Amino acid sequence: MKFLINKPHLIFLLSIPIIILFGILNRNEMLDINVHDTYFVFSQIDLTILISILFGIIGIGYWMMLKANRKLSKWLNLIHITLTFGGILLIWILAQLFRESIMEYNFNNNLTFGIYLIALIAIFGQLIYPINIISAIIKKRNKTSG
């Protein structure tokens, strides 16, 4: 775990092939989001490509900070990784519990609310990334012994 906190770019860059493989295997599925009377429909492959590009940008940013010898906050790294991957995992688990054949509206409504809440927390958790990068740029460089 300490290895991933010190080198967070690895978890983001290594997860890209897994996400793309998941998108290729489910390329015919659609994600539809209903907001009042408007439906937003996304193809699964388009969504996975978008997430892969986002993870690539995040991974390259973390890698550039490592190569520039800038010290990132370990706590902010841990929080960002946990909210990103933990949020995705929780959303996936809760989506598997969704019941379409049984008309339990209260259960599905509460489940939908939980999924939206976790997604909102995970999205706001992405604000930690630029805060961590900016604070690392502002701080003085690490002094190397020698």
What are 54-73's pLDDT values in tens digits? Answer: 999 999 999 999 899 888 89
Q: Check: CB of residue 85 under 8 Å from CB of residue 59.
A: no
CA distances from 3 to 10, 11, 26, 145 (A): 9, 10, 32, 22
Q: Check: CB of residue 30 under 8 Å from CB of residue 44.
A: yes
pLDDT one-digit tens code per residue, 92-130:
888 887 766 555 566 677 788 888 899 999 999 999 999
Q: What is the mean pLDDT of the chain?
A: 85
Single pTM value for the model: 0.79
Give the per-residue pLDDT at 146: 42
Q: Which two tokens stand for residue 1?
A: 């775990």
Ordered by start, the domain boundaries in the chain are 2-138
- Backbone phi and psi for residue 39, each to the nearest 5 degrees, phi listed first: -105, 130
Q: Check: CB of residue 56 under 8 Å from CB of residue 20.
A: no
Average pLDDT over every residue of 7-24: 92
Give the per-residue pLDDT at 101: 58
Give the per-residue pLDDT at 37: 83
